[in-house]
Amino acid sequence: MASVNPEQRSVIVIGAGPSGAIAAALLKRKGHDVLILERQRFPRFSIGESLLSHCLDFVEEAGMLEALQAAGFQTKHGAAFGCDEQYTEFDFRDKFTPGHGSTYQVQRADFDKLLADQAELQGVEIRYEEEIVAVDFSARPRVQARRADGSEYSLEADFVLDASGYGRVLPRLLDLEAPSSFPVRHAVFTHIEDRIEDPRFDREKILITTHPEHRDVWYWTIPFSNGRCSLGVVAARERFDGRGEDLDACLKQFVAEAPNLRRILGNAVWDTPARLIGGYSANVKSLHGPGFALLGNAAEFLDPVFSSGVTIAMRSASMAAGLLDRQLRGETCDWEQDFAIPLKRGVDTFRAYVEGWYDGSFQDVIYYPKAQPEIRRMICSILAGYAWDLNNPYVAEPKRRLRVLAELCAQTA
C-alpha cells in the first residue's frame, strides 16, 4: 500500500451509520481528531426501523437527542405480539430497568442522515462516496481509500473503528468472518401506505405477528408518522420454496395467511416494490485487533426479530469510544476485557431470546395470559434493549431463566 506522505489522522471511522456517527461524535466531544469515510451518499435506504428505548441513551450521550425529538418521527412506546386471535403487548415505560421508556420508529434514510449531520455539526469530518479498498495493520494503521472518481489515496491513523454495518469492511479485508450459528433465513419487505383503521392497532408499538401454522415464520409491521409503514416477513429459506419469483406476490401471499394482518392491512396501498435480503446473520473471529475494533453489524448480526441491531451498534459505539479515549490519552487498555467480553454479554442475552423465539419457548412466555407483573417488567426491559442490566435475573442467566419460565408457562397454560 505504497503512498507518498499518507494523510495523518487520529481516528478513522468506516461508515457513517448509527454506530459510526455516535462513536465519532463521542470521540470528537472528547477532543479527538475524527474522520468518517462512508461508501454511500446519504440519505440512503436501510432497514432496522424500529428503535429500542436503550438507543436513546446513546443518542443523548452524543448530544443528538434534542434534534431527534424535533424530527417528527413516530413515537414508540413498546411492542405488540399477535398470532391468529392471540394478542399481547409490552409497554417500555413499565419495565424493570431504569432508562428511557419511549423511543421512535424511523425511516432509516432520514434517521441515519440526522445522526450523521449532527456529528458534522459537532465538528466531525465525513467524506461520502469513499470506499476502503485495502488496509494494513502491521505498523501504524493505514487504509487505502477510493474516491467516487476512482482515484485513490492513503491515510494513517492511531486507530480504526469499523462501523460499516452489512458492508463488514475489516472482517472481509482481514479474513475475520466466521459462520453464524443461526440457520439461513430470508426477509421480504416493503413500505406501504397502510390506511389502517382498526382501532385495536396501536401506531405507538411495533406489531410482531406469528404465522398461525408455522411458528418460525413471523412478520413485522412498523408504523411511521406519515401514514405509511414498513412491512416484512421473515422465514427460513425453504419456507419460500414454491412461492415464485414475484416478491410482491410472495409477501402478499404470506400476509393473506395471517388473519390479524390480513384484517389490519385490508385497505393498504402496495405502492413500493418488495425487496429481499437473505443470509444476513453474521459473526467474526474477534471484535478487535492491534489498531482496530469492530462496531455493530460489522462484527455480528443476530436476527431482526427484536430490533436489537441498532441497539447493539450504538452500545458498541459508546463502549469503544470511551475505551479509545482512554487509550489515546496514554492509558493501557484491554480491549478483550473492557470491550469484547462485556459487549458479548448483552449480545448473548439477545441471542438466548432469539433462539427461544424460533424454538417456540419464548413465544410461550410472551403469549402466556397469567404472567406475574414483575416478570413481565423484566422481560419488557430486554425487549426495550436493556440486555446488559445484570440486576435483571433474565439478563444475568438468560438461558436458564427462560427455560424454567417456559416450562412453568407450559405446565399452567
pLDDT at 135: 98
Q: What is the pLDDT of residues 38-68, one digit of tens each?
A: 999 999 998 899 999 999 999 999 999 999 9
Predicted confidence (pLDDT) at residue 244 exceeds the cutoff of 70: yes
Q: What is the pLDDT of residues 330-370, one digit of tens each?
A: 999 999 999 999 999 999 999 999 999 999 999 999 999 99
Name 91's Cβ contacts closer than 8 Å, sequence gap at least 6. 77, 78, 101, 380
pLDDT at 184: 83
Q: How far is the C-alpha of 312 from the C-alpha of 320, rounded, in Å?
A: 12
Residues in the chain: 413
C-alpha cell at 93: 415505560
pLDDT at 150: 97
Of the chain, the percentage scoring pLDDT greater than 90 comes to 87
Averaged pLDDT score across all residues of the chain: 95
- Burial class of residue 212 (count of CB atoms within 10 Å of its CB; 0-12, 13-18, 19+): middle
Q: How far is the C-alpha of 23 from the C-alpha of 159, rounded, in Å?
A: 13
The pLDDT of 363-378, averaged and rounded, is: 94
pLDDT at 112: 98
- Please name the fold of domain 185-278: D-Amino Acid Oxidase; Chain A, domain 2 (3.30.9)
β-bridge pairing 131-136 and 142-146: antiparallel
Q: How far is the C-alpha of 274 from the C-alpha of 251, rounded, in Å?
A: 8
Q: Which residue has the higher pLDDT, 277 or 155?
A: 155
Collapsing DSSP states into helix, strand and coil, what is residue 43? coil
- CATH architecture designation of domain 7-75+105-179+281-346: 3-Layer(bba) Sandwich (3.50)
User: In the structure, how many helices (H) and strands (E) does the chain have?
Assistant: 14, 19
C-alpha cell at 110: 432520514
Instruction: Please name the helix (run of DSSP H) or strand (run of DSSP E) that holds residue 321, with its range, or none.
Output: helix 309-328
pLDDT at 413: 63
C-alpha cell at 149: 472518481
Predicted confidence (pLDDT) at residue 151 exceeds the cutoff of 70: yes
C-alpha cell at 38: 462512508
Q: How confident is the model at residue 278 (pLDDT cuts 50, 70, 90)?
A: confident
Neighbours of 329 (CB within 10 A): 11
pLDDT at 279: 75
**CA trace torsion 5, 321, 59, 61 (10° rounding):** -120
Q: How far is the C-alpha of 341 from the C-alpha of 375, rounded, in Å?
A: 27
Residue listed under C-alpha cell 426477509:
187
Predicted confidence (pLDDT) at residue 390 exceeds the cutoff of 90: yes
Phi and psi, residue 222, nearest 5°: -120, 105
pLDDT at 262: 95
Instruction: Please name the helix (run of DSSP H) or strand (run of DSSP E) that holds residue 347, with its range, or none.
Output: helix 341-359
Kindly provide the residue ranges of all beta strands, DSSP E only, lying in 265-392, ordered along the sequence: 275-278, 283-284, 288-289, 292-294
β-bridge pairing 7-14 and 34-38: parallel
Q: What is the pLDDT of residues 13-31, one digit of tens each?
A: 999 999 999 999 999 999 9
pLDDT at 142: 97
Name 295's Cβ contacts closer than 8 Å, sequence gap at least 6. 19, 20, 23, 161, 162, 163, 313, 316, 317, 320
**CA trace torsion 289, 295, 299, 300 (10° rounding):** 150
Q: How confident is the model at residue 405 (pLDDT cuts 50, 70, 90)?
A: very high
C-alpha cell at 78: 413498546
> Helix H segments across 217-286?
247-256, 259-264
pLDDT at 44: 93
Nearest Cα neighbor of 231 from 261, 211, 198 is 261
The pLDDT of 83-105, averaged and rounded, is: 96
Nearest Cα neighbor of 270 from 289, 247, 294, 248 is 248
Predicted confidence (pLDDT) at residue 134 exceeds the cutoff of 80: yes
Q: What is the pLDDT of residues 285-315, one digit of tens each?
A: 999 999 999 999 877 788 888 899 999 999 9
Q: Which residue has the higher pLDDT, 120 or 167?
A: 120
Instruction: Please name the helix (run of DSSP H) or strand (run of DSSP E) that holds residue 81, with its range, or none.
Output: strand 78-83
pLDDT at 1: 52
The pLDDT of 321-325, averaged and rounded, is: 98
C-alpha cell at 333: 487498555
Q: How confident is the model at residue 116 (pLDDT cuts 50, 70, 90)?
A: very high
Predicted confidence (pLDDT) at residue 282 exceeds the cutoff of 80: no
Q: Taking the domains of the chain in order of start, what are their residue ranges?
A: 7-75+105-179+281-346, 185-278
Predicted confidence (pLDDT) at residue 4 exceeds the cutoff of 80: no
pLDDT at 174: 95
Q: How far is the C-alpha of 81 from the C-alpha of 209, rounded, in Å?
A: 6
pLDDT at 132: 97
169 vs 24, 115, 408, CA distance in Å? 17, 21, 45
pLDDT at 3: 53
Q: 37: alpha, beta or left, given left = phi > 0 and alpha = psi -120 to 50?
A: beta
Q: What is the pLDDT of residues 224-233, one digit of tens each?
A: 999 999 999 9
370 vs 188, 366, 408, CA distance in Å? 34, 10, 11
Q: How far is the C-alpha of 161 from the C-alpha of 211, rounded, in Å?
A: 39
